[in-house]
């Protein structure tokens, strides 16, 4: 991927899912770097507050209320970027939500709503952004997950949606490269990140969900996203722990599957659920980057920082392979 993009302080960056979590962290970091940002989510009140915060700090921002599961709403985000800033240079498809529950428990309606947001939101965002970026160059950045490479028990349809995002991103990248379009497509694959993700998920279980360790700070994902906006890479895994898990799964898939029960237990607290409905069908309690993970949160990932620099990637991958082999040996 040889495209060269503008420095951040010369870019207009569109971010969906910008009212909380990774999207909000990315918007704030981009604005501090001098980028102009276009924020989108379903929560207009939260977006207006975030825009005002950015502008008070000397940045430039606009917002568009949109449900990414509706193509006409996604088009309105692009229209806002063109009307306010004359266009955009990077489009970040971040909006997403999950469901905690066994696949047979979850209603068809909820499964469809999750896919409409997670998968079709990425599809609509990418296909709306691509024609504009073909003309001026730029980046499409899609938020996958380590669940793009492995399945997470109790989050089966979320895992399926992230697998689908990877397949779509790969196909889109191929078509753009075949046409010689000056557009990069990057898939970001975070491990567990301390955002309000568990609280925004719909919950079919009888316990409050939590993130399985190791857990990383949202700013580490924002850093990777903004790196890809300037220095494109095909895929970026955020969190060495997540990369070790995907490596383990590749080396010993059947053993990994048998560990599913343990993984399910790591996703649950002892107390009953606080908000079982979550934000699947309606906006959640937005405005917060961080969640309330009860354990240790890693501020940075040495693996991720090293992988952003190609000369270090070989050494990093060798280390990850050794870590995955050691983990498999311990589990066995």
Backbone angles phi, psi at 266, to 5 degrees: -70, -10
At 96 the three-state DSSP class reads: coil
Residues labelled as active-site residues: 158
Helix, strand, coil % over all residues of the chain, rounded to 5: 50, 15, 35
Helices (H), the chain: 21-32, 44-56, 71-85, 108-136, 156-178, 197-200, 218-230, 240-251, 253-258, 260-265, 302-307, 310-331
At 26 the three-state DSSP class reads: helix
Backbone angles phi, psi at 275, to 5 degrees: -145, 80
Q: How far is CA 261 from CA 72, 146, 191, 255, 265, in A?
A: 41, 18, 19, 12, 7
- Using the 8-state DSSP alphabet, how is residue 195 labeled? S
């Amino acid at each position: 991927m040889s495209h060269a993009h503008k420095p951040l302080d010369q870019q207009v960056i569109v971010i969906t899912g910008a009212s909380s979590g990774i999207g909000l962290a990315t918007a704030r970091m981009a604005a501090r770097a001098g980028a102009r940002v276009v924020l989108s989510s379903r929560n207009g009140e939260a977006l207006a507050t975030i825009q005002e915060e950015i502008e008070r700090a000397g940045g430039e921002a606009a917002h568009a209320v949109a449900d990414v599961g509706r193509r006409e709403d996604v088009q309105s985000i692009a229209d806002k970027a063109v009307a306010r800033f004359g266009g955009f240079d990077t489009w970040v498809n971040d909006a997403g939500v999950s469901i905690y529950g066994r696949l047979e428990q979850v209603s068809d309606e909820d499964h469809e709503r999750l896919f409409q947001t997670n998968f079709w939101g990425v599809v609509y965002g990418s296909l709306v952004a691509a024609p504009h970026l073909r003309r001026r160059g730029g980046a499409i950045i899609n938020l996958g997950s380590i669940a793009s490479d492995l399945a997470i028990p109790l989050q089966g349809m979320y895992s399926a949606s992230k697998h689908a995002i990877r397949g779509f991103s790969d196909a889109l990248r191929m078509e753009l490269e075949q046409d010689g379009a000056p557009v990069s497509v990057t898939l970001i694959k975070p491990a567990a990140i301390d955002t309000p993700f568990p609280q925004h998920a719909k919950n079919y279980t009888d316990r409050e969900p939590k993130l399985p360790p190791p857990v990383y700070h949202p700013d580490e994902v924002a850093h990777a996203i903004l790196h890809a906006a300037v220095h494109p890479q095909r895929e970026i895994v955020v969190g060495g722990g997540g990369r070790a898990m995907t490596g383990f799964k590749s080396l010993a898939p059947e053993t990994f599957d048998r560990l599913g029960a343990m993984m399910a237990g790591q996703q649950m607290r002892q107390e009953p659920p606080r908000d079982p409905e979550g934000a699947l069908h309606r906006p959640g309690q937005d405005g917060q980057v961080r969640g309330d993970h009860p354990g240790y949160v890693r501020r940075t990932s040495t693996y991720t920082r090293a992988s952003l620099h190609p000369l270090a990637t070989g050494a990093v991958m060798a280390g990850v392979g050794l870590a995955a082999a050691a983990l498999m040996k311990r589990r066995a």
